[in-house]
């Protein structure tokens, strides 16, 4: 249920509250509102959980050889060859029309 004013707070304001990025007056207003509004309290808890997951997650960076951009399948190689053939044909046609 929304707080005593019949509305919920903006999620950016709640996120700022979690990050301790609000000025004292806004932080106090959010703190009081959270005591009355179960919906906003649930949003804060959800944001807290997302923040916890985001800060504790580890990511493995692949080695340089894992970033190869070379075509790996025959279909990719064929499409790349066809594309270069079309580019060369276009260059020849444009070159002839310029003469």
Task: Write the pLDDT tens digit of every residue in 34-47.
Answer: 998 889 999 999 99
DSSP 22: S
Domain residue spans of the chain: 11-56
Predicted confidence band at 6 (pLDDT cuts at 50, 70, 90)? low
Rounded distance, CA 15 to CA 17, Å? 5
User: Model's pTM, two decimal places?
Assistant: 0.52
Taking 70 as the threshold, does the pLDDT of residue 3 lie above it?
A: no
Q: How many residues does the chain have?
A: 99
Residues 47 and 9 sit within 8 Å (Cβ to Cβ)? no
Rounded distance, CA 72 to CA 95, Å? 33
Predicted confidence band at 62 (pLDDT cuts at 50, 70, 90)? confident
Tokens of residue 69, six digits: 């951009």
Listed residue (76, 4, 58, 69) closest to 34, CA to CA = 4
């Amino acid at each position: 249920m929304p707080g005593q004013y019949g509305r919920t707070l903006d999620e950016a304001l709640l996120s700022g509250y979690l990050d301790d990025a609000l000025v004292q007056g806004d932080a106090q207003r959010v703190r009081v509102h959270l005591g009355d509004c179960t919906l906003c309290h649930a949003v804060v808890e959800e944001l807290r959980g997302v923040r916890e997951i985001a800060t504790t997650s580890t990511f493995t960076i692949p080695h340089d050889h894992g970033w190869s951009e070379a075509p790996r399948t025959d279909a990719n190689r064929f499409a790349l060859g066809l594309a270069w053939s079309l580019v060369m044909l276009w260059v020849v046609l444009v070159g002839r029309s310029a003469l």
